[in-house]
Amino acid sequence: MIAEGLAASLHFSSARRYPQRMRCSRVLLAALGIFTLAQINSIAVNLSLPPANADAIQADSPESKATIIKLDTLIIPKVDFEKETIPNIIEFFSKQSRELDPQHIGIKFETRIPRDWVPPTPYRRVASVTLDDVPLVDLLGYVVVQTGLEYKVVKGVVVLSPIRAGEK
């Protein structure tokens, strides 16, 4: 009951005007351990939360806009990472996005991580996630939260890099 109330308040306060914020709120609640992502998505479906409005997406190019939409709409059926390395996770993302994309083009991922980079505490160079039926954007959110990385979409490519100093 609490979950439905929280989801409803998120829905009515911001989801229609800020669909990207609603998606981030879902990931944040799940990452904090308040609810599982499956619970949050189930509540969102039951409340008929609107999908992200493609016209409202701000991007640096049409390719980036298409990539952002794919990140939001591609649903990964099963994920089971146990201390998986960043390169292996990126390979998994690329493969899954190609398989699930109706055109089989997928999403391009690029890492800009220096070889000698050591993630600041409490981050790690590995991630552990076990989920079913998760949007790729949410999965990406889990990985960056655990690894101290950030991502942005540049000219249609998802670029992962270390969080800049002072941004946590």
Tell me, what's the pLDDT at 40?
Answer: 55
Q: Which residues fall within 8 angstroms of residue 53, CB to CB, at 6 or more apart?
A: 19
Tell me, what's the pLDDT at 68?
Answer: 87
Tokens linked to 158? 């998802």
81 in Cβ contact with 124 (< 8 Å): no
Q: What is the pLDDT averaged over residues 145-151?
A: 89
- Give the separation between CA 129 and CA 37, rounded to whole angstroms: 11
Helices within 18-167 (DSSP H only)? 19-31, 37-46, 62-73, 86-100, 136-147
Interval 39-82: pLDDT, tens: 555 555 444 444 444 555 667 788 888 898 899 899 999 999 99
CATH T-level topology, domain 57-168: Phage tail protein beta-alpha-beta fold (3.55.50)
- Amino acid present at 133: D
- pTM exceeds 0.85, yes or no: no
